[in-house]
Amino acid sequence: MALWLKTVRFTDVNGAVANTCTVKSAERLNFPGKVREDLHGRRVIDVALKSFSLGAYFSGKDEDFEIGYEKVSVSLDYDDFVSLTVQLRPRPDEARRQEWQFRADAEVLVIADLEDAPRP
């Protein structure tokens, strides 16, 4: 067994505040060997949020505002693409104003348990 680690970066993800924005990684993961399966036949792979930054802007200018809710999550799709989901919701009295936008960056760590160590 050998652990395989890879960082996947998402930059300049943009969306409307109060909407959920999901983006896939630009490239499919290419594992350097066969991924081990658990007793139930599921591949032993996990993804973790390594770092992220969120910023809000109003009519194209950076702005500070009161946040009612924020969510950043990551997942691995069945087709080996990493997905990032971001939601930033302002307080209720600002939620309907479409001028509010957000910008996000994130780093995701992919961890896979390979059956054999890759050879150089």
Digit-by-digit pLDDT tens for the chain (120 residues) are 789 999 999 999 988 877 889 999 999 999 999 999 999 999 999 999 999 998 888 877 887 766 677 889 999 998 999 999 998 877 777 766 667 788 899 999 999 999 986 565
Report how far residue 14's alpha carbon sits from residue 27's, in angstroms, rounded to the nearest whole number: 19
Residues in the chain, overall count: 120
Residue 76: domain span: 2-114
Task: Specify if 119 maps to a domain.
Answer: no
Q: What backbone torsions phi and psi does residue 92 show, to the nearest 5 degrees?
A: -55, -35
Task: Specify if 88 maps to a domain.
Answer: yes
| 8 neighbors 111 (Cβ within 8 angstroms) | no
- Domain tally, the chain: 1
- What is the rounded radius of gyration, in angstroms, for the C-alpha atoms of the chain? 18
Task: Specify if 120 maps to a domain.
Answer: no
